[in-house]
Amino acid sequence: MEISTQPGSRASTPETRLWAAVLRQAVDDLEHSDTRLDAKLWLESDDDEPGSFVFVATVLDVDPRRLRKRILQIDKANRRQYRYAA
């Protein structure tokens, strides 16, 4: 699932670039123990207020449930891979 916010794409507005950056930060935060819990709580929340995961996914025109599922699958695979590499 790819979210294109490159200049010239249909989704390339300042607002969509901002919310895509928020989403990218949350995904990055999953990788760090000091921010992981907050990121996971944000991703798993079903709130739809401005700034929430559901709000961000909606602004990016992506189904929040599918996006959440995919992010958490990737996170789980990355954590498993890291555990076996260590």
The reported pTM is 0.80
Q: What is the mean pLDDT of each run of 10 residues along the chain (86 residues)?
A: 54 90 96 95 97 97 97 90 64
Flag whether 50 is in a domain: yes
Number of domains in the chain: 1
Flag whether 4 is in a domain: no
- Tell me how far apart the alpha carbons of residues 57 and 81 are, in angstroms, rounded to a whole number: 27
Q: What is the pLDDT of residue 1?
A: 45
Flag whether 8 is in a domain: no
Flag whether 76 is in a domain: yes
Q: What is the pLDDT of residue 78?
A: 86
Q: What is the pLDDT of residue 12?
A: 82
Flag whether 1 is in a domain: no
Domain range spanning residue 39?
14-85
Flag whether 29 is in a domain: yes
Q: What is the pLDDT of residue 3?
A: 56
Flag whether 71 is in a domain: yes
The half-sphere exposure of 38 on its side-chain side, counting CA atoms within 13 A, is: 9
